[in-house]
Amino acid sequence: MAATSTPVRKAWRSLGWLAGIIVLLIGLNTAGAIWWGWGWAPKLALDLDGGTQIILTPTLEDGQSVTDEQLKQSVQIIRDRIDAAGVSESEITTQGGDKIVISIPGTSPDQATLDRIKQSARMDFRPVLLAGGPSATTVSPTDSPTDDATADPEATPEPTDTPSPSATPTAEPTDGSDLAWVTPELREAYDAFSCDQLDAATASAAPAAEPLITCDQYLTEKYLLGPVEVQGGDIADAQAGMGTTSTGVSTGQWVVNLSFNGDGTKAFSEVTKRLVKLESPRNRFAVVLDGAVVLAPTANDPINDGRAQISGGFTQESSKFLADQLKFGALPVGFTVESTDTISATLGQTQLQSGLIAGLIGLILVFVYSLFQYRLLGTVTIASLIVAGVITYFVVNIMSWREGYRLSLAGIAGLIVAIGFTADSFIVYFERIRDELRDGRSLVGAVEAGWKRALRTVLAAKSVNLLSAIILFVLAVGSVRGFALTLGVTTIIDVIIVILFTHPMMQLLATTKFFASGHPASGLDPTALGAVYRGRAEFRVSKEARRAGASREAERRQTIAERKAAELAAASAATSGKKKDSTGKKEAR
C-alpha cells in the first residue's frame, strides 16, 4: 500500500505544479488585458495582418553616393536594431540601389521605433575647444544673469569660451585640443551660430578630421569641438545598467557602460591624459551622437582600462535604446524617412483560416490514431495535447504583447508540426509501459519502470528538436525565425507536459481497477500484449506466448540478407527432406 501511495502523492504534486503554471499564465494575460492594454489573441505578422512600410533615403553631401557595401551594412544594422527592440517578423530590403524599404507589422509604429531605425547612431569622442550659451547673443561679465534667469533652464549661461579671434593662434595644430584649430573665420561662425539652427542630419555627416560646431541634445549649450580622436567603431560593447560610484555603491541613475577595443583603449587613454592638464573648457571631452553632444564631462583622471560610462538623465528605456544602437554599430551613412505608408496583408484571413483548419485536421487525426491504437489509454494523449495547446496559446500571447512577437503563417506551421512531435513522446512512453507489462510487471511497476526508460528517449529526442530550432532561429531571418521560435517553444512545453501531466495521469490511472485489470478497452489488454493475467494487477507471460512473441520479434529484427539466408536454408531443408523420403521408399521396396 505504501509503495502505491508514494507514486500517487508524486502524481498529485506534479499536477499541482502544472496547475500553478497555468494559473500564472492566465493571471499574466488577465493583468495585461486589464492594465497594460494586451489583447486575448496574438498579434499577427505582415503576411496575415499587413503593416507599415517605411522608405529611408541616405543623407549625403553633394557629389557623394552610397555604395552597395554601405547599403548592405545598413540593412544588417537596422535589422539588428529592430530585432533588439522586440519587433519581430519585419522585412528589410533595398530599392533602387540607394534606398532601404522597411516593412513593420502593425499600422502605427511608435516614434521610438522610427528613431531606432533611422538614426545613424554615429558616436564620436571630440575634445572641447569652446563652450557657451545656446544662442548667438553672448553675455559679458557685467551683464550677469539675475537669480531668476539662473533658475530658468532656458536661460543663457555665462560663456566659458575665453579666446577671441585676434588672440587665436595660426600655427599648425598639434593635437585635437590645440586652439590653432580656432581660426578667425571659425570663431566668427561659432559666435553667429544658434542652437535652433542645428541640423542633425548635416552635423552627423560632418568630416571626422575637422572641427565641429554643434549643441547638446537639449539645445541648452553650444560647442566648438576639435576633430574626432576616438571613433565610435572602437566601441567593443555597450550595456545599459545602473550607475555605481568608485566604491561600488549604486547611484540609482541609469547609464550606458562602454568598453573599447585595443585601439580605442589606447586612444582614449592618451586623450584623457592630455585633457587633465588643460584649463576649462578644454579639459572636457564631448561624447557626440549623431552630431549632437550627449554629454561633455571634465576629465579628472586618465582612463586607462578602456571602460567608460555615459550618464545624463537616462531612463531604463533610453539607456537600453542607446546601448543597442552603439552595440550593433553606427550606420555608415545617415538616413531620412522619405515616406511612411500602410500596406495590406500579403496573404490575409483566407490563408490564416486554411492554416488553422489544417492544424485542426492534424489534431483530429492524432486523436483518432491514439484511440485506435491505444483504446481508452489514448484519452491520456488527447488530454495531454489539450493542456499543451492551452499553455502554448497563453505563452504565444504573452510573447506577442510583451516581447513584440508576431504570429505568421510560418509560425502556425511550426505549431502544427509540434502536434506530431508531441504525440511521439506519448507513443514512446506507452510502448515502454507495454514492454514492462510483457515482462510480467504489475501495472504500477510498469508505469514507473517504463517512465525511467521513456524519459531518457524523450529528452534525447527533444534535445535534438530544440537544438535544430535554435540553430534555425539564429541563422535564419524573417518568417523562418517565426517557425523556429514556435517549434522551440512547443518543444519545451512538450517536455513540461510529459513530466507534469502525462506521467502523473498514468500513475493515477494505474491505481484504478479498470486499467489495472487489463480491460480489453483499456489499451492494456493481456491477450493483445501476449501476457496472461494472474490477479492482483499482475501479469505473467505464458510459455507459448513467450515463444511466439520471441519468434515474431526475431523475425521483425532480421535484415534482408538474414531473411534470404533463412529462406534458402528452409528450401534446402525441404529438398533434403524429400530426398530422404524418396530414399526411404526405395529401401522399403
pLDDT digits (tens, 9 = 90+) for 368-424: 888 888 888 888 888 998 999 899 999 988 888 887 777 777 788 888 888 877 888
From the number of C-beta atoms within 10 Å of its C-beta (0-12, 13-18, 19+), residue 148 rates as exposed
Q: State the average pLDDT over residues 33-48.
A: 80
Closest CA to 514 of 319, 384, 417, 375: 375
Quote the pLDDT of residue 24: 94
pLDDT tens figures, 436-472: 877 777 788 888 888 888 888 889 888 988 998 888 8
Asked if pLDDT for residue 359 goes beyond 70, the answer is yes
Query: Are the C-beta atoms of 497 and 388 separated by less than 8 Å?
Result: yes
CA–CA separation, 234 and 236 (whole Å): 6
Using pLDDT thresholds of 50, 70 and 90, give the confidence band for residue 563.
low
pLDDT of residue 165: 38
Angle, in degrees to the nearest 10, between helices 2-35 and 443-475: 30
Contact 119, 325 (CB under 8 A): yes
Strand positions, DSSP E, 261-414: 285-289, 292-295, 307-314, 334-343
Q: Is 310 helix (H, G, I), strand (E, B) or coil?
A: strand
The span from the CA of 540 to the CA of 208, in Å, is 87
Q: Strand, coil or helix: what is 313?
A: strand
Q: Is 276 helix (H, G, I), strand (E, B) or coil?
A: coil
Which residue, chain included where needed, has cell 483560416?
Answer: 353
Q: Which residue has the cell 528538436?
A: 465
Record the cell numbers describing residue 364, joined without a space: 483530429
Instruction: Say if residue 548's pLDDT is above 50.
Output: yes
Distance from CA of residue 113 to its chain's centroid?
A: 17
Where is pLDDT greater, at 560 or 517?
517
The DSSP secondary-structure symbol of 510 reads: T
- Band (pLDDT 50/70/90 cuts) for residue 533 is very low
Q: From residue 140, how far is each of 130, 159, 162, 219, 374 by CA, in Å? A: 16, 8, 11, 21, 94
Q: For the residues of 235-251, what is the DSSP string, one character each?
A: EEEEEEEEEE-TTS-EE
